[in-house]
Amino acid sequence: GSVMEKVLQKRSLRMRNMQRAWQESPEGKRMLEFRKSLPAFKEKEGLLQAIARNQVIVISGETGCGKTTQIPQYVLESEIESGRGAFCSIICTQPRRISAMAVSERVSSERGEPLGETVGFKVRLEGMKGKNTHLLFCTSGILLRRLLSDRNLNGITHVFVDEIHERGMNEDFLLIVLKDLLPRRPDLRLVLMSATLNAELFSNYFGSAPTFHIPGFTYPVRAHFLEDVLEMTGYKLNSFNQIDDYGQEKMWKTQKQLAPRKRKNQITALVEDALSKSSFESYSSRARDSLAAWAPDCIGFNLIEAVLCHICRKERPGAVLVFMTGWEDISCLRDQLKAHPLLGDPNRILLLTCHGSMATSEQKIIFERPPPNVRKVILATNMAEASITINDVVFVIDCGKAKETTYDALNNTPCLLPSWISQASARQRRGRAGRVQPGECYHLYPKCVYEAFSEYQLPELLRTPLNSLCLQIKSLQVESIGEFLSAALQAPEPRAVQNAIDFLKMIGALDEKESLTHLGKFLSMLPVDPKLGKMLIMGAIFRCFDPVLTIVAGLSVRDPFLLPQDKRDLAGTAKSRFSAKDYSDHMALVRAYEGWKDAEREGSAYEYCWRNFLSAQTLQAIHSLRKQFNFILKEAGLVDTDASLNNKLSHNQALVRAVICSGLFPGIASVVHRETSMSFKTMDDGQVLLYANSVNARYQTIPYPWLVFGEKVKVNAVFIRDSTGVSDSILILFGGALSNGIQAGHLKMLDGYVDFFMDPNLSDCYLKMKEELNKLIQK
Ligand code: ADP
Ligand code: MG
């Protein structure tokens, strides 16, 4: 120990010298001036003391007051200043990878260092850190993963769990694990940070841990609700007939006939009437769905455009932040605005986007000030709500929605709907306008709708399927998943837990006694959904790795096939060209990706994407994720270093189909042919529909008795997104119980993949299987 001790002491002194040199340099001084202006700075000494004296503390303070960038940095600086810099190791978790990256970059520049020196980051499949890194920003998922192999977090001195008010699944999960860990690590310091005031909930969870509030200063922001917005912009409501599809004819047809002057009050009255029939919470699902389908997708981008025009023509300078539901909406609106004579003029408007999958270079621009007389307009998802602070925002446009997954445990179906945000989120969004001067916030929904919002959002743990989570819990060597989860801040329904356990048993990740199988262990190490992890392993075993890699990467990023509202049919036709009678969206994806690679080589990638309604950005993301998965599987020894060996059977369509089936099971639907139409039934007899741009939706008949699919989503009916046709024998061979036989011992199998079906219990299937396998090989 003492040699090590000396080395660390020496390093600590060097760290102190470097820190002092920076603080005394002109740039360092300027930076320090800025940092001193943040509200957190006034509390610095108190915070450091509270952290030193208590094992757990909860800090709350408004977004932008300096929690994330400052407080972990204060701890780092004070350790360095006291000559203990090399002995401390601070981790600060973020719910999203993009904030972990942005924040670490910011903090290292505040310290005048390159990223990856004292300050680094680590997110799924990416990171910048070195042996001198003592403050690491990572996603909560990364810390959980570390806890799997290092249950006591040896060597870590401080853990900050940030943005806990969001109640993300990983954060709630982390808190259970950390609470259990604290007694074993009395020297470890845990700091929870939240943007809202409800700190007691967390404090109570940790046996009345002290709370600390950072009083912030923000300028007042005036709230304008839909009534005022319509009046202000003179926006005509005629476009409301767009929303007839959503079963609201009555409400809006009356609306259309009203004189513009009267509309304002009428809107309030109509919505109030709808709401008064029952409380918002217990609203009948149909009425609620139609209400949910309302803004802004239905009011249309036109209203947002009108508000933007209003701001640009009539208002003072200042950036505009527009909260939208997702990337699709953002890119559609961006295209629409680019074609607008005022808003599309780059000499007057700097139009930017901010969402989870943007590139790091894009990220930096949103913080920069635009040239004089140019107004910055940022179209953002709710990511800009709390984790990212853009200082010069004066105007906020809030559509009132966020796309969130909810989970219907009874039907075991995830639902992806843009749903109303909570009052807390709406306030948060509004607050973004008051950072540098008094601001304005345009809420595109009536005041009475705001009043009907729930106060806080439901924790993610209670609204998502728990498959991956339960697998991770199991790999923490937990006996009973149910018992473990009952220790959460708010425990999920037993039904939801049971569904996840059943699922994990079904895919062979857990055995009958709920213990982790070898397959389960592998899957818990792969940073993908367990189903997709299984598909990857199968693709490696069966030597058709490349196409499977593309499919898995595609399913974990998003669909690269675009579906513009006004060109649905053309887009569908373009996509079906990639299907070539495969009856498979997954194969279409593989072909589209490979075509893009070829086009890139020939320098025609842009035209290729344009012609085929493909998103170059998504293809690029798939491309890099592919590389990363490939790397991980190589590290784990699951694929050969010789790529041609891994792809010996990649050309074999039927085999790829079989591997897709093995991964997606039990996502299967039977194809029921009627005289003129087809319908699709899932195992539990539920009726499902195909997404409009599925290649399978374009056929009259499908020559396969089954479709396997990745996920079903409840929108207004239950839909399956991507599907692939499979035969009976493939289903018997690769769906469910049989493929569970494939465990770690078999993973070394190379070409002789018949062997692991040699179990004597399976002898009556065996002949059929052998026949099928021979067919597969010979094709
Ligand atoms: P909190 O975590 O309390 O929301 P942060 O620590 O993220 O606050 O940010 C504090 C302040 O630092 C912000 O108000 C902003 O002025 C500034 N800031 C943060 N990130 C950046 C960045 N990437 N570029 C420029 N300024 C930034
Ligand atoms: Mg923060």
ipTM of the complex: 0.99
Instruction: From residue 431, give the alpha-carbon distance in Å to each of 69, 212, 438, 538, 731.
Output: 19, 21, 10, 49, 54
d(CA 52, CA 57): 10
Amino acid at 515: S
Residue nearest to atom 25 of ligand 1 (CA): 367
Mean pLDDT score of the chain, rounded to an integer? 81
Q: What are phi and psi of 142, to 5 degrees?
A: -65, -40
Burial of 248 by CB count in 10 Å (0-12 exposed, 13-18 middle, 19+ buried)? Answer: buried
Q: Which of 43-57, 444-458, 732-746 tops mean pLDDT?
A: 43-57
Beta bridge partners of 668: 708
Q: Is 429 helix (H, G, I), strand (E, B) or coil?
A: helix
Work out whether strand 158-161 and strand 211-214 pair parallel, antiparallel, or are unpaired. unpaired
pLDDT for residue 367 = 85
pLDDT at 5 (0 to 100): 92
Can you read off the two tokens belonging to residue 98? Answer: 């993009």
Helix-then-strand count for the chain, H and E: 33, 23
**Ligand 1 in reach of 69 Cβ (< 6 A):** yes
pLDDT value of residue 85: 96
User: Ligand 1 in contact with 168 (CB < 6 A)?
Assistant: no
* Ligand 1 nearest-atom number relative to CA 102: 23
Distance CA(161)–CA(661), nearest Å, equals 39
Higher pLDDT, 553 or 299: 553
38 Cβ closer than 6 Å to some ligand 1 atom: yes
**116 dihedral zone (left: phi>0; alpha: psi -120 to 50; beta):** left
Q: Which ligand is nearest to the CA of 31?
A: 1
The number of the ligand nearest the C-alpha atom of 162 reads 2
CB 722 within 8 A of CB 694: yes
How far apart are the C-alpha atoms of 36 and 765, rounded to whole Å? 73
The confidence score (pLDDT) of residue 52 equals: 96
Q: Beta partners for 510?
A: 516
Ligand 1 atom with the smallest distance to the CA of 62 is 3
Which residue's CA is minimally distant from atom 21 of ligand 1? 106
Question: Which of the two residues, 692 and 481, has the higher pLDDT score?
Answer: 481
Kindly indicate the confidence band of residue 284, based on its pLDDT and cuts at 50, 70 and 90.
very low
Best mutation site among 75, 106, 115 for ligand 1 pocket (most ligand atoms within 8 Å of CB): 106
| Paired tokens of 575 | 């996509």
Confidence of residue 186 (pLDDT cuts 50, 70, 90): very high
In angstroms, the Cα distances linking 618 to 54, 327, 404, 561 are: 46, 11, 21, 9
Using the mean position of ligand 2's atoms as its centre, give its distance from the Cα of residue 395 in Å.
21
The span from the CA of 76 to the CA of 59, in Å, is 17
The pLDDT of residue 405: 62
Could you tell me if the CB of 102 is within 6 A of ligand 1?
Answer: yes
Tell me which ligand sits closest to the C-alpha of residue 363: 1
User: What is d(CA 15, CA 111) in angstroms, rounded to the nearest whole number?
Assistant: 12
The residue whose C-alpha atom lies closest to atom 10 belonging to ligand 1 is: 66
Centre a 10 Å sphere on the Cβ of residue 47 and count the other Cβ atoms it contains.
22
82 lines ligand 1 (CB under 6 A): no
652-711: pLDDT as tens digits:
888 899 899 988 887 888 888 888 888 898 876 678 899 888 999 888 889 998 899 988
Instruction: Determine what percent of the chain is predicted with pLDDT higher than 70.
Output: 82
Residue 273 reports pLDDT greater than 90: no
Q: Which residues of 395-429 are buried (b: 16+ CB within 10 A; e: fewer)?
A: bbbbbbbbbbebbebeebbbbbbbbbbbbbbbebb
Cβ 61 under 6 angstroms from ligand 1? yes
The residue whose CA has the least distance to atom 22 of ligand 1 is 106
**Atom of ligand 1 at shortest range from CA of 69:** 6
CA 311 from chain centre, in angstroms, equals 31
Q: Mean per-residue pLDDT for 753-758? A: 37
Q: Is the CB of 68 under 6 A from ligand 1?
A: yes
Q: Name the percent of the chain lying above pLDDT 90.
A: 43
pTM of structure: 0.76
User: Which residue from 286, 247, 287 is spatially nearest to 271, judged by alpha carbons?
Assistant: 287
* Cα of 408 vs its chain's centroid, Å: 19
- How is 221-237 classified by DSSP, letter by letter? EEEE-HHHHHHHHT--G
pLDDT of residue 592: 97
Q: In what order do the strands lie in the sheet with 119-123?
A: 126-128, 119-123, 135-139, 90-94, 158-161, 189-194, 56-61, 211-214
Q: How confident is the model at residue 286 (pLDDT cuts 50, 70, 90)?
A: very low
- 360, β-bridge pairs: none
* Binding site membership of 565 for ligand 1 (Cβ less than 6 Å): no
Alpha carbons 773 and 18: distance in angstroms, whole number: 65
Atom 16, ligand 1: which residue's CA is nearest?
Answer: 391
Q: Give the ligand at the shortest distance from the Cα of 369.
A: 1
Given this model, what pLDDT does residue 414 score?
A: 57
- Is the CB of residue 348 less than 8 Å from the CB of residue 374? yes
| 434 in contact with ligand 1, CB cutoff 6 A | no
> At residue 764, does pLDDT exceed 50?
no
For residue 259, name the pLDDT band (cuts at 50, 70, 90). Answer: very low
Decide if pLDDT at 34 tops 60.
yes
Ligand 1 atom showing the smallest separation from residue 193 Cα: 2
173, 469 contact by CB (below 8 A): yes
Report yes or no: 350 and 337 within 8 Å, Cβ to Cβ: no
Amino acid letter at 235? Y
389 in contact with ligand 1, CB cutoff 6 A: yes
Q: How far is the CA of 62 from the centre of ligand 2 (A)?
A: 9
pLDDT confidence of 415, banded at 50, 70, 90? low
Structure tokens belonging to residue 613: 């309604």
In this predicted structure, the answer to whether residue 4 has a pLDDT above a threshold of 50 is yes
The two most distant CA atoms of the chain are separated, in Å, by 85
Q: What is the 3-state secondary structure of 310-348? A: HHHHHCCCCEEEEECCCHHHHHHHHHHHHCCCCCCCCCC
Q: Express each pLDDT in 501-554 by its tens digit.
A: 988 988 888 988 999 988 888 888 787 888 899 899 888 888 899 999 999 999
Which residue(s) pair with 404 in the sheet? 417
Q: Mark 615-637 as b/e (b = at least 16 C-beta within 10 Å).
A: bbbbbbbbbebbeebbebbeeee
pLDDT at 435 over 90: no
| SS3 of residue 140 by DSSP | helix
Rg value, the chain, Cα: 28
What would the mean pLDDT of 152-165 be, rounded to a whole number?
Answer: 95
* Residues 329, 735: Cα–Cα separation, whole Å: 36
